[in-house]
Amino acid sequence: MGCILYTDNYKILGIDTSCDDTSAAVITAEDKILSNIVSSQSDIHKRYGGIVPELSSRRHIEMIWPVVNEALNRAKTSLDDIDAIAVCYGPGLIGSLLVGCSFAKAVGYAKGIPVVAVNHLEGHVFSIFLGKERPDFPFISLIASGGHTSLYIVNGFGQYAELGRTRDDAAGEAYDKVAKLLGLGYPGGPIIDKLAKDGNPKAFNFPRAYIPGPFDFSFSGLKTAVKLRVHDLEFKGQNKKMGLLNDIAASFQSAVVDVLVRKVEWAIVKRAIKRIALSGGVAANSELREKMLEMAERRGVDLFLPSPYLCTDNAAMIAAAGHRHFTAGNVASIDLNPKAYLPL
């Protein structure tokens, strides 16, 4: 911790290497995005149906400089004009996080730029501030990604009260695992989202886990139910039916969306909060966005949705949370270490 002098028009470089995307962005203190580069590794991982951590960290090492350079070039700036570097230090894959943290500390030290450590989940929460419509505090925040599915009350910057979280798989993880068992590739979310548009959501009655919590989630039972149904269809020789994949995708998706919408609805009712913000890769889902909007209108509350490209992992969201830490004087020291497990 230290006290930092800053001006209102500073520029912050964000870096995220928490999982399988290498990302760098430059934003201003007013949350204006000057650049936001994401280099996807999905081509490397798709043949395995999920992320291979060792391949991921090796690719980050290759890509970090080119991606940061591209972000600086697109923002028409250079490291000499960067006032702070915000780096994601967890949660995530430890080898991947190490690349971003080591890079940020080395560049920060060499160029005399302060480094700010950002929790990836806090980045997702603050992705909503990169858009035109920004919520006042407090708001209910649903983070639904490949690694997390959690509900928070956000009372202000740094003031997060967790209401619930998944007890097993994250929503995005369920999408990825179902896509894998259907042989659809990785990441599963966008593929299933697309297939579901031409499917019947009532074709299969997959379970909705409204577990008592009341804000906790569970998606592993749903994934198993899809698996058992697929095996059953194969056994009966019905697995080649036209449109079957679309129907499975639509039925699975409507089970995920029903639970996410219902839990958020309970949260706004029970906590009497009038604003909802979604984030994380699953928040890019077209049906979730539509159904959440219907519910918000019915309940008379405001819904804030980041653009789909800001829902999935990106460094602009890390910079958005990062400059708030920077103005609060939360600067990391040179012994900053990444953390694979890091609650918000």
What minimum distance in Å lies between the beta carbon of 269 and ligand KG4?
25
Task: Out of 123, 135, 164, 189, point to the residue binding ligand KG4 (CB under 6 A).
Answer: 189
Task: Out of 312, 319, 322, 323, point to the residue binding ligand KG4 (CB under 6 A).
Answer: 312
Residue placing its CB nearer to ligand KG4 in the complex, 122 or 313: 313
What minimum distance in Å lies between the beta carbon of 313 and Zn ion?
4
Q: Which stretch binds ligand KG4 (CB under 6 A): 82-90, 170-178, 200-208, 325-333?
A: 170-178
Task: Out of 169, 193, 216, 265, point to the residue binding ligand KG4 (CB under 6 A).
Answer: 193
Residue placing its CB nearer to ligand KG4 in the complex, 135 or 147: 147
Q: Which stretch binds Zn ion (CB under 5 A): 29-37, 61-69, 170-178, 308-316?
A: 308-316
Backbone angles phi, psi at 3, to 5 degrees: -95, 130
Judged by CB under 6 A, does residue 14 bind ligand KG4? no
Task: Out of 129, 285, 292, 332, point to the residue binding ligand KG4 (CB under 6 A).
Answer: 285
Task: Out of 284, 292, 303, 315, point to the residue binding ligand KG4 (CB under 6 A).
Answer: 284
Judged by CB under 6 A, does residue 23 bind ligand KG4? no
Judged by CB under 6 A, does residue 147 bind ligand KG4? yes
Judged by CB under 6 A, does residue 38 bind ligand KG4? no
Output the six-digit token pair for 163.
């209401």
Output the six-digit token pair for 72.
């600086």
Output the six-digit token pair for 165.
């979280």
Cis peptide preceding 308, ω within 30 of 0? no
Number of residues that bind ligand KG4 (CB under 6 A): 19
Taking the C-alpha atoms of residue 279 and residue 200, their distance in angstroms, rounded to an integer, is 26
Q: Strand locations in the chain, DSSP E?
A: 11-16, 21-28, 33-40, 84-90, 115-119, 139-144, 149-156, 159-165, 275-279, 302-304
What minimum distance in Å lies between the beta carbon of 6 and ligand KG4?
29
Long-range contact set of residues 295-302: C-beta below 8 Å, sequence gap at least 24: 295/261, 295/264, 295/265, 299/265, 299/268, 299/269, 300/274, 301/268, 301/273, 301/274, 301/275, 301/276, 302/135, 302/274, 302/275, 302/276
Judged by CB under 5 A, does residue 313 bind Zn ion? yes
Is 321 in contact with 126 (CB distance < 8 Å)? yes
Judged by CB under 6 A, does residue 95 bind ligand KG4? no
Give the residue carrying structure tokens 């007013």: 30
- 3-state secondary structure at position 177: helix
Taking the C-alpha atoms of residue 153 and residue 43, their distance in angstroms, rounded to an integer, is 36
Q: Which stretch binds Zn ion (CB under 5 A): 23-31, 138-146, 150-158, 294-302?
A: 138-146
Judged by CB under 6 A, does residue 152 bind ligand KG4? no
Is 113 in contact with 120 (CB distance < 8 Å)? no
Backbone angles phi, psi at 302, to 5 degrees: -90, 135
Task: Out of 57, 119, 127, 145, point to the residue binding Zn ion (CB under 5 A).
Answer: 145
Name the residue among 34, 141, 132 with its Cα closest to residue 81: 34
Q: Which amino acid is at 277?
A: A
Q: Which stretch binds Zn ion (CB under 5 A): 2-10, 61-69, 126-134, 307-315?
A: 307-315
**Footprint of ligand KG4 on this chain (CB under 6 A)?**
19, 145-147, 172, 175-176, 187-190, 193, 280-282, 284-285, 312-313
**Footprint of Zn ion on this chain (CB under 5 A)?**
145, 313
